[in-house]
Structure 1
Amino acid sequence: MADTTSQARYFELLGRAYEVPLESTGFESFLDAAHDFFCADPETGKVPDDVVTFQSDVLDDHTRRLERIFDVALRAERQDAETDAHYHSVLTIMPGSDRVHGNAAAIALLGCSLPLALDDLPLDREALAQISECLSAPGSDERIILATVEADEPKPCLALVQPPAGEDSEARISLSFVHWSDGLITRLGRALGLTESETEVLQGHLENRKPREIATDRGRSPETVKAQAKSILRKTGCVRMTDVARLAASIAYLLRKMPDSGAPSLSHWTTPVANLHQIMREGRKLSYYRHGHPGSRATVLFSHALIQGPFFAPAFLARLEAADVSLLAPSRPGYGYTSPPKTEAGFESAAIEDALAVLEAEDAGEVHVVGHQLGTSHAFRIANALGPRAKSLILINGGIPLNETHYASMDRRVRFAAMATRHAPAILKMTKLLAIRSFRKKGIREFLVDRYTKSDWDMRALKMPGVMELHAQGTFHACEQDGIPFFLDEASKHSDWTADALAATCPQFWLQPEECSILDPDAVRTFVSGLRGARFETEPGAGAIMLYQRPERVANFILDVIGNASVPVEAETA
């Protein structure tokens, strides 16, 4: 390490890495530390002078240790789940006593030793008062109470209070902890016919929060929250929100036993196989997706992004089919079901050779090459390898060779990847491992929301019908082989491929979203202005998810190029 400052950043980075397997927000904190390790000034994107002296070999050992920690944590979670399935938390109070006894499951849930006096149980005061009231009347009806276990991380639970049947019988309190995950809450809201806002209010009540607290958390007035609570009562047929909580707990139990038919593609990290075709080349399996049929009037070869594609919106495919255009979308080495390259150094050449082999297998002659985001550099290389057979290069939210002059305007994630690739590839490898395991654990929705949470345009696009599912498929595709391409493709993307771009001889057509959160469109425009035969335009109101946000616009852009690709163009920007 060069000095105390760089050493402090290094140990902060390592410390955050070891928190990822244990903390729900650990990966986000690690990314912040990783970004700050490389970025001395976020305003300019300046890299600290001491980063270039960083010795990265030692990180490989830490990465292997982290992998083992994740595996141990996963096994522990599975054991906890098995324990929950076999043991129920039960508290008992003997006649004539206020001492509460409990089984092992109750001790684990409450996090305290038993027996204790009833008033000393780590439950919220209101719940304890309701339990005492219920127990003071022997022979009264059972009651379900929504309570909160008071701990460092408060846990809402349901308490079934069974008063003593007579003076000589014991009282029982059965505690049931329900983890109200975002996925379970969403399904519960659908089952009860609630709006998104009403579902959020219901979640607050299930977490035993006061209406004013719910209003503060949601940035709404207490009157709005009360009105939405009344709507929940009307829709569920309940008199009180405690009755709604009881109903919700019953439905939650059933939902856990049922598959989520509303979002099957989000529950299993499996790459789709519809329209999948495979060939063998030199002992490696090449996979690609085909839409359309051989003999179409035109063929498009699609070079996909990291976590978008090679999957497409129905409207996009319908436009191409109506125009008699076929689409071939190969998976690069290590993605989906395509074998990894024989060596890391051979990744880029394998990507080119694989694409050419797919075209040969499909007996495709002239083609239009489409590059999307991370697939841009590969698209240029493929087009150059095709020579005259490449009728055009079409770049959809295309990337450009990146250097330190672009850092200031970059998305933090992209900036970090660029810096790590150049200065400490081992950190990028560690990040890949942590990212995949962290988000496999948290779920694909959380991964995509976290990815785009700082872009209002992309968050709106993510909520459009079908967009989350398509994007999830692209993420599964990148992770099918445990994320092999994450490191290889990022390294390729952040290399200097300017020579490949300048060597292209076919006409180029760029469509860039004006609200891209990944890279400033003006930086792309400046680069494209120096390319031969390139035409550039932007799409207003579109963000980084333009492929899924504006599928018909993207399809029409490609079809317009196909109809005019034989007409020479001068370099211009619009």
Structure 2
Amino acid sequence: MKTGRSFRPIGVFATIMANKSPTQPKNNHASDLVEQAYSLTTNPEEYDQLVLTWEKRISSLVKKNALEIGANEHQIATGEDEHLLRAFTIIERLSAAEQTGAVALDDLLAAYTSPAILARPDGSIRATNNAASQILGVHTHINEIAVDSDNAKTLIERLSPNSATATASPTVLRAYGSDGQSLVLVFSPFHRDQEEPLTLIQTAEINWTKAVDQLLREGFSLTKAEISVTNSIVAGHSIADIAKNSDKSINTIRSQLSSVLAKTGARTQSDLVRLIAGISQIATLKVKPTNNIVAAAKALPDIEEHILLLPDGRKVAYRLIGPKGGRWAVFCHSMFGGPYLSAPARARLRQHNIRLLAVARPGFGETSPVKGGRETRHRTMSQDLKAVMADLGTGPCVLLGQEAGGGQGYTIAHFEPGLISAQVNFSSGIPFTKPEHIKGLPARMRGYMWTARLAPHILPLMIKGAVALLQKGKIELFHRTYYHGEGMDYETSQRSEVALILKKGAEFSYAQGHDAILEQTIDLSLDWSGYLDNFTHPTTLIHGEQNSQFPAKFVKKFADERQNVSFIKVRDGGLLLMHTHAELIIDVLDKQMKSLAGH
């Protein structure tokens, strides 16, 4: 392909550029780009090199035509668009073809961290996970599950294709683990193209939220004391234990329990547990993996997964990280880190008694996507957080922002004033409003930024290519592109626990495809300084000196220009601060929270 011909401005930009005839510089980037693009379809290892070659290509066009951020920033055509489109389309189709095979049932259940069983109508086990074998002691038939004697027959009845389970909401049943632990089984019809009907049986950890309290109070007229007794019964406590812990007599607790049973219509404590499990399922659904998000559903210890159903039918996924009863803080995670923290970070949260609320942005994880432009996405994200905070009764919170999540924090404060009382960001960026901001970025990041601004028609292809690598299990190649050239960060990303968290974070991000990643990449690349017009809440920025994705000097200058912002530089830190300096980050968060509380 010739490299000396002039390029044509496209679409609405044709009029703007009509009086200019910028030409492409003479170099080998164009021919190299085409060759690497097609090579990538059979050799995924070429992706990183393709990104680098593309950056050289677009940067040479920027330099040649004196394009800058702001008034002289125009969309361009590179001359290789058709080849790039064709190559990335091939990659995407190859990836899709590899995923058309149905997920094996055993692999599907492996995504559940709690016991999960697929049972046939006769009670025999079609598939089970390790947790079911270890906790319930079930291997071949559901009659191996320990239940109350009056529930043994009911257990089999739940599996009939003609039962209510097959057509209605999930039903529940009290059972016991191999160690005698009281559990709640939830029965749901399992729909997939198959020859035999199956029932999915899970253990349900009842998620007692403010919504459950409200339903019991308004729907059954339970008093505060009766709700407390109900909560304790569901948690597996005996009447004697409840009386002892509440400094009340056993007769008082029995009387309160009798009132609860009468008001709810439950005949026994087991009936009551079934009722509360059902209410919990209605108020806040536990995450249930589907074929599209199997990998993203796996949880790490100390991380609870929930979904809140909004009145308009949208689903909002959120994670709770840290000790129950801890002080609330909001966690806006990075694009690819997901709502998952390392063991040292979770230990520090327990030490400071902090409980993080991480709400998935629209299109990420299991949260419903939203149609509309940039402002609609940001407003919806802020409203989703507001809804979950109201449901949990958190009140205003300090926000912990990781990388791109720091920018999300400013956005939330803009659209929903009052939710965020203060902010602690680490490894976060700033609005790119000056030429030196993009010029100072590492090559790969600079390529993405210029593409979003000057060749947005190419960016979806690049994102699709990256997601295709992830979906094909080539996450190490993705990390090589994302962290390569950032010495300590790439080394950190290869550590076993860090690699697991980053893998889960990436799976969480592309659980619904590439659209959400693409939208956030564009949001980060464009100027979002307008969200800072009323930015006044106390904010601390923690930044690694070796962070080459977002150079520390730019972040420090951003902080110096604002009275409400302080800056902490970590000399031996890079981008992945949560995996190298978790204690520092959580300590700063704790200090900020205590400062607001007047401690």
Q: How does 1:83-122 map to 2 (within 5 A)?
A: none
Matched, 1:67 2:67: no
Matched, 1:527 2:546: no
Q: Does the 8 Å contact 1:467/1:549 carry over to 2?
A: no
Q: Does the 8 Å contact 1:42/1:408 carry over to 2?
A: no
Q: Does the 8 Å contact 1:461/1:467 carry over to 2?
A: yes
Pick from 285, 305, 315 the counterpart of residue 315 of structure 2: 285
1:71 Cα deviation (Å)?
A: 2.8
**Residue 322 (structure 1) aligns with:** 351
Matched, 1:558 2:578: no
1:6 Cα deviation (Å)?
A: 6.2
User: Which residue identity is paired with 2:335?
Assistant: L
Matched residues in 2 for 1:495 and 1:77: separation? 33
Change (3 A) 1:428 1:290: same
**Residue 333 (structure 1) aligns with:** 362
Matched, 1:5 2:27: no
Change (3 A) 1:69 1:510: closer
Matched residues in 1 for 2:313 and 2:81: separation? 33
Q: Under a length normalisation based on structure 2, what TM-score does the superposition of the two structures give?
A: 0.57
User: Which residue identity is paired with 2:512?
Assistant: Q
1:42 Cα deviation (Å)?
A: 10
Matched residues in 1 for 2:93 and 2:43: separation? 15
Q: Does the 8 Å contact 2:331/2:401 carry over to 1?
A: yes
Q: Deviations over 1:506-534 (max 9, x none)?
A: 11111111111212101110111112311
Matched residues in 2 for 1:393 and 1:45: separation? 40
Q: Does the 8 Å contact 1:407/1:415 carry over to 2?
A: yes
Q: Does the 8 Å contact 1:340/1:484 carry over to 2?
A: no
Matched, 1:30 2:50: yes
1:38 Cα deviation (Å)?
A: 1.9
1:546 Cα deviation (Å)?
A: 0.7
Q: Does the 8 Å contact 1:511/1:538 carry over to 2?
A: yes
Matched residues in 2 for 1:56 and 1:324: separation? 54
**Residue 387 (structure 1) aligns with:** 417
**Residue 513 (structure 2) aligns with:** 482
**Residue 371 (structure 1) aligns with:** 401
Q: Under a length normalisation based on structure 1, what TM-score does the superposition of the two structures give?
A: 0.60
Q: Deviations over 1:175-233 (max 9, x none)?
A: xxxxxxxxxxxxxxxxxxxxxxxxxxxxxxxxxxxxxxxxxxxxxxxxxxxxxxxxxxx
Matched residues in 1 for 2:404 and 2:340: separation? 15
Q: How does 1:21-170 map to 2 (within 5 A)?
A: 21-40=41-60, 47=67, 52=74, 54-55=76-77, 63=85, 66-68=88-90, 70-72=92-94
Change (3 A) 1:53 1:401: closer
Q: Does the 8 Å contact 2:338/2:509 carry over to 1?
A: no
Change (3 A) 1:567 1:493: farther
Q: How does 1:390-429 map to 2 (within 5 A)?
A: 390-403=420-433, 404-429=435-460
Q: Secondary structure at the match of 1:387?
A: coil
User: Which residue identity is paired with 1:343?
Assistant: G
Matched residues in 1 for 2:64 and 2:84: separation? 31
Matched residues in 1 for 2:340 and 2:437: separation? 29
1:330 Cα deviation (Å)?
A: 0.9
1:72 Cα deviation (Å)?
A: 4.7
**Residue 270 (structure 1) aligns with:** 296
Matched residues in 1 for 2:100 and 2:395: separation? 53
Q: Does the 8 Å contact 2:24/2:61 carry over to 1?
A: no
1:7 Cα deviation (Å)?
A: 9.6
Matched residues in 1 for 2:501 and 2:561: separation? 34
Change (3 A) 1:439 1:320: closer
**Residue 542 (structure 1) aligns with:** 573
Change (3 A) 1:20 1:291: same
Matched residues in 2 for 1:45 and 1:6: separation? 9
1:484 Cα deviation (Å)?
A: 1.9
409-418 vs 380-389, which moves further: 380-389
Q: How does 1:286-305 map to 2 (within 5 A)?
A: 286-292=316-322, 296=326, 298-305=327-334
User: Which residue identity is paired with 1:431?
Assistant: M
Change (3 A) 1:325 1:56: same
1:59 Cα deviation (Å)?
A: 5.0
1:316 Cα deviation (Å)?
A: 1.1
Matched residues in 2 for 1:330 and 1:393: separation? 16
Change (3 A) 1:7 1:73: farther
**Residue 17 (structure 2) aligns with:** none
Matched residues in 1 for 2:451 and 2:582: separation? 33
Instruction: Give the share of equivalent positions with the same residue, in percent.
Output: 18
313-322 vs 360-369, which moves further: 313-322
**Residue 114 (structure 2) aligns with:** none
Matched residues in 2 for 1:64 and 1:350: separation? 34
Matched residues in 2 for 1:369 and 1:44: separation? 43
Q: Does the 8 Å contact 2:25/2:64 carry over to 1?
A: no
1:352 Cα deviation (Å)?
A: 1.3
Matched residues in 2 for 1:78 and 1:503: separation? 48
1:564 Cα deviation (Å)?
A: 1.7
Large movers: runs of 4+ above 6 Å: 41-46, 48-51, 76-79
Matched residues in 2 for 1:271 and 1:525: separation? 37
Change (3 A) 1:293 1:73: closer
Q: How does 1:396-475 map to 2 (within 5 A)?
A: 396-403=426-433, 404-441=435-472, 443-475=474-506
1:74 Cα deviation (Å)?
A: 7.6
**Residue 107 (structure 1) aligns with:** none
RMSD: 3.5
Matched residues in 1 for 2:387 and 2:401: separation? 18
1:269 Cα deviation (Å)?
A: 4.6
Matched residues in 2 for 1:372 and 1:527: separation? 17
Q: Deviations over 1:143-175 (max 9, x none)?
A: xxxxxxxxxxxxxxxxxxxxxxxxxxxxxxxxx
Pick from 303, 307, 310 the counterpart of residue 339 of structure 2: 310
Q: How does 1:214-293 map to 2 (within 5 A)?
A: 269-273=295-299, 275-281=304-310, 282-292=312-322
Q: Does the 8 Å contact 1:286/1:354 carry over to 2?
A: yes
Q: Does the 8 Å contact 1:513/1:546 carry over to 2?
A: yes
Structure with higher helix content: 1
Matched residues in 1 for 2:423 and 2:400: separation? 6
Matched residues in 1 for 2:415 and 2:488: separation? 36
Structure 2, unpaired ranges of 5+ = 1-6, 8-20, 102-293
Q: Does the 8 Å contact 2:88/2:462 carry over to 1?
A: no
**Residue 180 (structure 2) aligns with:** none
**Residue 158 (structure 1) aligns with:** none
**Residue 260 (structure 1) aligns with:** none
Matched, 1:505 2:544: no
User: Which residue identity is paired with 2:500?
Assistant: E
Change (3 A) 1:435 1:72: closer
Matched residues in 2 for 1:535 and 1:73: separation? 45
Matched residues in 2 for 1:465 and 1:503: separation? 42
Matched residues in 1 for 2:77 and 2:564: separation? 43
Q: Deviations over 1:233-253 (max 9, x none)?
A: xxxxxxxxxxxxxxxxxxxxx
Q: Secondary structure at the match of 2:339?
A: coil
- Bigger CA radius of gyration: 1
User: Which residue identity is paired with 1:421?
Assistant: A
Matched residues in 2 for 1:77 and 1:306: separation? 23
Q: Secondary structure at the match of 2:307?
A: strand
Q: Deviations over 1:337-393 (max 9, x none)?
A: 111112244222222111112211211112001221111221012123443442211
Change (3 A) 1:397 1:77: closer
User: Which residue identity is paired with 1:489?
Assistant: Q
